[in-house]
Amino acid sequence: MTDLPAHSPDNHDFRHSGLAFWWCMFVGALLVVLGALLGAGGAWLIWLGGSWYYLPTGIALVVAGGLLLSGNPAGIWLYGLTWLATLAWAYWEVGLDGWGLMPRVLAPTVVLIFVLLALPAFNEPVRPRRSGGRYATVSGLVVLMAAGMGMHHFTGAAQSQEALPAPPPATPAAQNRTGQPDTTIHKPGKDWPVYGGSELGRRYSPLDQITAENVSKLTKVWTFRTGDMPSKAADGKYSPENTPLEIGGHLYACSAKGIVISVNAATGKEEWRYDPKVSDDAIPYGATCRGVAYYTVKDAVADQPCATRIEWGTLDARLIAIDARTGKLCADFGDKGMVDLTQGIGETVPGWYSVTAPPTIVRGIAVVGAQVKDGQAEDAPSGVVRGYDATTGKLVWAWDMGHPDRTGAPPQGDTYTRGTPNMWTVAAADPELGYVYLPLGNSAVDYYGGNRKDFENEFNSSIVAIDVTSGKPVWHFQTVHYDLWDYDLGSQPTLVDLPTDNGVVPAVIVPSKQGHIYALDRRTGKPLFPVEERKVPTGGVEPDKLSKTQPYSTYAHLDQPRLTEKDMWGMSPLDQLYCRIQFHQASYQGEYTPPTVDKPFIEYPGYNGGSDWGSVAVDPQSGVLVANYNDMPNYNQLMPRAEADKMGLKPIDKGKMSKAVSDKGDPQAGSPYAIHVNAGWRLPTGLLCSEPPYGHIRAIDLKTGKTLWDKPLGSAVNNGPWGIPSMLPIDIGTPNNGGPLVTAGGLIFVAAATDDKLRAIDIKTGKIVWQADLPAGGQTTPMTYEVDGRQYVVIAPGGHHFMETKIGDQVIAYAFPQD
């Protein structure tokens, strides 16, 4: 195509100076650039087997831009027709799905406005001219090709010395000194005595002062600050995730680095604090203290030191007990109030072996697991789970799956079995049965299993019932066979009385990262709803060792349909095209696609769930289970050992890596491969490659497992490209971490999403009936209690480095204004 002379008869109406002229030149150049990018990418996509829309559209844009640059108004007609073809193609792919339409039509519509603003460059009304017939003919053919081909493929030290009044003794479990075990279940009433509300982990309160009808009156009544904010060395590593306890008018919170503070639960006034002085280098993946445990020593005199005590684990692997009244160390516990949890672990370094979850105390035994930092080495600290006397701190038993014959500490010079699956999250317990339910993770290396031992493959990603008196397994149920996807059980199990056709059955509800929710008889581990072993993909680097089937729950599941090319997303056709290309470049065969080294593989759901550590909540009165969950893929790839070594990837015990190096992947030392994980499958803009919503909240009928309602959770106000908040109050459904609280008032209280809000939701309808802005990220679980006839809802919004929300140190209480 050649440019027309400036004064030819075909071009006499085109202005050659002024703002209108230069705007027309800018728009023409823009169309040429956009068209070249879309055309080149579209050709690549067709070669990969993807949609035919982008190539002809790119050609049309290049032609339209060339026409405008040559002063021919046919370029406006051509772009307009291309825009109409784009609308038709977008509707064909996604219908009237607003999130699906956005990247397909929003940017082209903005460009359409730009093109129409070029009209003043032409003195006469733009219309087809005889002299431009050859351009109209070419344009029409290109548009028809774009429309037709587009439809081819669619898709520390205590600081207070004054003792406080003794909290009531009727709270978490104690060993009966007469020899009979204390089988009391410490259910929440006016208090919130245990993480998860009770040992059962239901996150339910019988308090009903606050209801859907009056929740609008809820207001902030006090705030206190822990003072624990990240130093320069700890910047980008804080994720407190704390849920406080409340007993007898005293609220107990712990900060990111394990500082425990007692405050007056009615006023927020600090009473005492204890700082364990945890060093920054002890921070593993994140500085986290999900909670503490409260324990009453059986038959202790009320004013006796440490008659009631707070016990918790620290990031530097200590189990500490302090007086609940004064914050002073309990001298009769361990070594002057502390137990060294690294005993018997073998080689470790700060940040590799840490405790981030509260101990579960049942029948006087404090059951403790630990977090072993992911992806470092096969020769990692053990995943042993131990039970300690909650009064003396003495080791009562240790469950080491590699040595089932042992019940105590390893012999002198030996260690607990290295690299075994660990319990980094919170256990649940049935004091009446005397069982504690351990949600186990994966072996030390997540994405390669060739060197795992048989007992690791037997117990990885399993729920294990342990007899708390002996430390011996009673039964176990595996949720993933030969787990190569980091699908560890992050959620605390929830114990319920499940109504069935044969009567009420004591059950354990087990949420999972892959989205399946299993309902098991908690006495035997047998499924109460069929669990189907379904065929899953094979291949990858370990085709002979992969399990040919995986257990699918028929009770309830949160996973979504298989991804297709048309599920790819972005803020414009360009980044959607980029994601489509990545989709076709990767190995993806649906759920449980095996890890690959020659190309990326798509893991969907990603390792953040489904359900993660926030767990679920159950209202036993209405029979409703509430689950907030994530819906995002990961985009991963194994890396050969030589390549990983060249990059400088090395495990934590071999020295520190710069952030630039550590961001390239996890070393998985001892295996043939390192791993690079793109969590959430993010674009360079920070947006995700899959279509929203990314987070939901769902109500499920407890008896049947059927969905009652499902809503997106979280607005787009804090989300946008390059971390720029969009300020759009649209319920996009954001990634979320943290759990729900349900109350007898018919409400769900939940934060968790990345928009820094605490919400109250009507459990019957899913409608948001109240919300409050938080000063930092709400990646935690709220709790509730009553003092002097007034119900309080409390949350500790500490933010989260992984979720990229603002870090804070506040604990905030909401209640009705006092008359």
pLDDT digit string (tens) for 540-598?
999 999 999 999 999 999 989 999 999 999 989 999 999 999 999 999 999 999 999 99
% pLDDT > 70, the chain:
91
Distance CA 230, CA 798 (A): 11
CA–CA gap between residue 43 and residue 51 (Å, rounded): 9
Q: Percentage of the chain surpassing pLDDT 90?
A: 85
Pull the structure tokens for residue 48.
Answer: 């990969």
- Omega cis (within 30) before 450: no
Q: Is 156 buried (19+), middle (13-18) or exposed (0-12) by CB count in 10 A?
A: middle
Location of structure tokens 């038959």:
299
Cβ atoms of 439 and 492 closer than 8 Å = yes
What are the Cα distances from residue 470, in Å, to 344, 411, 436, 476, 522?
19, 19, 11, 16, 18
- The residues with which 696 forms a beta bridge, in sequence order, are 629, 712
Q: Would the pLDDT of 162 be above 60?
A: no
For residues 605 and 596, give the distance between their C-alpha atoms in angstroms, rounded to a whole number. Answer: 17
Angle (CA) 306-307-309 rounded to 5° is 55
> What would the two tokens of residue 735 be?
């990634």
Q: How far apart are CA 777 and CA 797, in angstroms?
A: 5
Please compute the mean of the pLDDT values over residues 283-303 and round it to a whole number.
94
For residue 110 the two structure tokens come to 């903005």
Q: Which of 500, 506, 531 is nearest to 518 (CA)?
A: 531
In 435-530 the beta strands, taken as DSSP E runs, fall at: 435-439, 462-467, 473-478, 494-500, 503-511, 516-521
Q: Write out the DSSP string of 174-205.
A: -B-TTS-B-------SSSB-STTSSTT---EE
How does residue 165 score in pLDDT terms, banded at 50, 70 and 90? Answer: very low
- The pTM of this model reads 0.91
Which residues, in sequence order, are CB contacts of 112 under 8 Å at separation 6+?
A: 79, 80, 83
pLDDT in tens, 436-464: 999 999 999 999 999 999 999 999 999 99
At 269 the pLDDT is: 98
Instruction: Provide the b/e sequence for 434-460 (b: ≥16 CB within 10 Å).
Output: bbbbbbbbbbbbbbbbeebeebbbebb
Which of helix, strand or coil describes residue 690? strand
The beta-strand segments (E) located in 216-284 are 219-225, 245-247, 250-254, 260-264, 270-274
Q: Would residue 773 show up in a list of annotated catalytic residues for this protein?
A: no
CA torsion 397→399→283→808, rounded to 10°? -80
Q: What is the rounded distance in angstroms from the CA atom of residue 311 to the CA atom of residue 302? A: 18
> Among candidates 324, 347, 350, 454, which has minimal Cα distance to 402?
454
pLDDT (mean) for 238-264 = 98
Across the range 61-71, mean pLDDT stands at 96
Residue 468 is which amino acid? V
Is the separation of the CB atoms in 595 and 568 below 8 Å? no
* DSSP letter for each residue of 707-774: EEEEEE---BTT--GGG----B-------B-S--EEETTSEEEE--BTT-EEEEEETTT--EEEEEE-
Does pLDDT of 153 surpass 70? no
Q: Tell me what pLDDT residue 182 has.
A: 73
8-state DSSP, 103 = I
The C-alpha atoms of residue 400 and residue 412 are separated, in whole angstroms, by: 16
Contact assessment for residue 700 and residue 627, using Cβ atoms and an 8 Å cutoff? yes
pLDDT at 136: 42
The rounded distance, in Å, linking the Cα atoms of 85 and 68 is: 20
pLDDT digits (tens, 9 = 90+) for 499-532: 998 899 999 999 999 999 999 999 999 999 999 9
Strands across the sheet with 757-762, in order?
204-205, 741-743, 747-750, 757-762, 768-773
Percentage helix, strand, coil, to 5, in the chain? 20, 25, 55
pLDDT of residue 13: 62
The tokens of 536 are what? 């899953």
Measured torsion, CA atoms of residues 721, 726, 731, 735, in degrees rounded to the nearest 10: 40
For residue range 168-190, list pLDDT tens digits in order.
Answer: 444 444 444 445 667 767 777 89
The answer to whether residues 475 and 701 touch, using CB atoms and an 8 Å cutoff, is no
> Are 262 and 252 in contact, with CB atoms under 8 Å apart?
yes
Q: What is the pLDDT of residue 514?
A: 96
Residues 430 and 522 sit within 8 Å (Cβ to Cβ): yes
Cβ–Cβ under 8 Å, residues 327 and 160: yes
pLDDT at 493 over 80: yes
Long-range CB pairs of 295-301 (<8 Å, 24+ gap) are 295/171, 295/172, 295/173, 295/174, 295/321, 295/361, 295/366, 295/390, 295/391, 296/169, 296/170, 296/171, 296/172, 296/174, 297/174, 297/391, 298/174, 298/175, 298/176, 298/177, 298/182, 298/364, 299/177, 300/169
Q: What is the mean pLDDT of the chain?
A: 91
How many other C-beta atoms lie within 10 A of the C-beta of residue 533?
A: 12
Residues 718-741 as b or e (16 or more Cβ within 10 Å = b): bbbeeeeeeeeeebbbbbbbbbbb
Residue 134 has pLDDT above 60, yes or no: no
Return the structure tokens found at 626: 């509430």
User: Of 486, 488, 619, 631, which residue is the catalytic one?
Assistant: 486
Nearest to 273 by CA among 298, 301, 292, 300: 292
CB atoms near residue 114 (< 10 Å): 15
Cα angle for residues 297, 301, 302 (degrees, 5° grid): 90
pLDDT band at 147 (very low <50, low <70, confident <90, very high): very low
> CA neighbours within 13 Å on the CB side: how many for 206?
9
The H or E element spanning position 625 is: strand 624-630
- The pLDDT tens digits of the residues spanning 766-781 come to 999 999 999 999 999 9
Q: Which of 120-129, 164-173, 179-188, 299-308 has the lowest mean pLDDT?
A: 164-173
Joined together, the tokens standing for residue 112 give: 């359409």
How does residue 6 score in pLDDT terms, banded at 50, 70 and 90?
Answer: very low
Rounded Cα distance, 303 and 390, in Å: 18
For residue 693, cis peptide bond before it (omega within 30 degrees of 0): yes
Q: Please say if the pLDDT value at position 9 is more than 90.
A: no
